[in-house]
Chains A and B, each alone.
Chain A
């Protein structure tokens, strides 16, 4: 393959790969633009379509994708402007109303401290979305760069990196989180995100390494090398566009699991701590009152489950679209 074709998919990747799931809309818009007629006049439909425009065509028709994308868009909207659908502050609580059922302005009722469960559930979305997106971005960047370099250059660094990923895989994630985060006193999302990047990168570096090794033996890479292309050009222009699909799929599914992990760590008391607002904190706080006020437990749990489900289903749909072999 000469120079032209790699340009096309690469633009789509710049959006999808690094933007995580949230940017899917934007990058797929790019895919949509280029679907009729390539930029270099390759003709509308008679030429073979790229993997990306094919995938986008599939996704648009997939009800699972549309449903999960809708849920995710809603979540992003809510985490940006929570006050649009919930009045009052999540931190203003009235002990007199503790454990009350639903009332005016509080469709989900009140929790053990008399806080409005609806408001807290709405405001909790921001934490989850921030943690999920930032952790995935960090893991995807860090992991795929390390994995791609190791896979491309091979040699000693590849062996060292492989052993290093083995080491990280041997440490149970929740356990590592408990140990590392129990010392943190800062009550922001950043230590949690940092921890996820620290323990999450090996997963993506393995995927990226594998797909770079597969891509590097293809003829077009040999051709590019024979034409005198530098390593960085081969990696960025030729290998990356062809190796990024599995990374995107794994990263999207991982986004959901990071959201679940944040809630788990907050539930155990080492993630975010009150007065931060997070579904994990709310579930943990509601569990002693499970007998009298189960609604305080059920609503944040439901929100958490739907969020994680949306991201996992989105990842599933993207995988089906990008990997036609599975059908």
Chain B
């Protein structure tokens, strides 16, 4: 191994460490017996998890976040699939504009979007409501769904729907019975992405939070300012586990989809 590759390896590991170390530090702190956040953790206890599950305020915020995330996942899956279908199967010259608008939220800083939504939602009374959150989260999660669905859709031969129509199916039936089942793993995978994006979304939650209904990330931020108990890392552990399992599920689904999509004309 020469000096060059050695340096490259060192660099890669440094980046990985930079990303992972904060997580590796915060996670053990959830099991510390001390009353406040300490590192290294002392002893081992599950009482902070207990405290989280027994606390009414934490549970309310969790259910609120879960509800928003679930609704965001559903709305993103429906809107995202429809939009992607239009994009991939013939949006014509409007396609590029449409695509730019759809994936725009990746480029636009969330803070800018949050401010805009804040002003708009204040006037329309959507601030702090479930609908308001779902709308906002759908906007930022949509690009990810569009990416995963379009990957699947572009590998499906458009002639399949023609074939179904020549067999007597209407265009919608052809989509429902032929194209949708083939791309479904990717649609669900996209929905799972949307779920995670919504569930731990902090920026918009910060601007849109009402007085009573707060999402879990917003609640954690409020809490950390007042009491630095290890409940916060305990929640972080739970969120991490949830995220990893959901994304793992999405990856498995996409692998299934890739296997199914082995092209028709082989």
Q: Do A and B come from one complex?
A: no
Q: Which residues of A contact B (CB under 8 A)?
A: none
Q: Which residues of B contact A (CB under 8 A)?
A: none
